[in-house]
Amino acid sequence: MTKFDEIYQGMVEKIMTEGLEEVNQSKQAGSERSTYLTKAIPGMHFSIDIEKDGFPLLTLRKIPVKGMVAEQAWFIMGSRKPEDFLRSYTKIWDAFTNPGDVVTVAYGYRWRKHFGRDQLKLLIDLLKKEPGSRHGVVLAWDPSQDGLSLQKKKNVPCPYSFTVNIIGGRLHLHNIVRSNDVMLGVPYDVAGFALLQCLLAQELGVKPGIYSHSISNAHIYDTHYEAAKEILKRKNDHAKITVVLPEKSYENIENRKYEVVDAIIKNISDQYQPMEPIQGIKIVAY
């Protein structure tokens, strides 16, 4: 199996065998309150070396490459309307729009516009001028609006901050996640942010290094227990995936040259031979 397949199975096994099972209630804005069980572990973390171990895309079940790549491109564009490019590739954010078809907490918008500064541009400018800087922190969490309230929203950021460092001539990204649905969210989030890492590395003229993922609350919902058991049975003899980006991919995405998105999707898809999907894995709550 790939290195990430092994890491992922280890996470699932640890939660299923050691996780604390609790009854939780969820009521997102505009929805009925629902009760469910979760098995959860606090403070779960892993790291993987993209250059050495390959791109961390789960092969134990099929992950939608097209949607994952397009979502990251949409983030880089700084948009918060799915109709703006994203919906042509995936409808994953449609459930979180307001009546104006706006995702108010879209990650890319938060990174590029929400706080009155373009964090991604400042990150790139900083690391071009001072590669050894330890100040490469990008936030999606707005303490004036998010969390700390019983008033529910459709969504608040889950991966709420990431830090980029260039160490040893390679770009490393550490993703901090407040809450992660391990069966559904983790494989998608890891691949997406690892792709962002590769794009930033290319833009800065260095190789991608270690991707790190830290979860404050790593959980599996009771409706996903059978899927988790199935994942633990699976083995896949899959070669490591190496992402080869077209020249100036980050810049071309910013400039909305959509053909670069299609080229990245093709590069990954041509190498990707996942096992069959597991039915019934649906979003429960955030």
Question: What residues are annotated to the active site?
Answer: 158
- Relative to beta strand 207-221, strand 170-181 is parallel
CB 276 within 8 A of CB 62: yes
In single-letter form, the type of residue at position 250 comes to: Y
User: Helix 3-18 to helix 185-203 angle, to the nearest 10 degrees?
Assistant: 140
CB 174 within 8 A of CB 212: yes
3-state secondary structure of 55: coil
CB 161 within 8 A of CB 138: yes
In single-letter form, the type of residue at position 5 comes to: D
Render the burial of 65-97: b for 16+ CB within 10 Å, e for the rest.
bbbbbbbbbbbbbbbbbbeebbbebbebbeebb
DSSP letter assigned to residue 234: -
Scan for tokens 């979502």, then name that residue.
Answer: 71
132 C-beta neighbours (distance < 10 Å), count: 8
121 backbone dihedrals φ, ψ, rounded to 5°: -65, -45
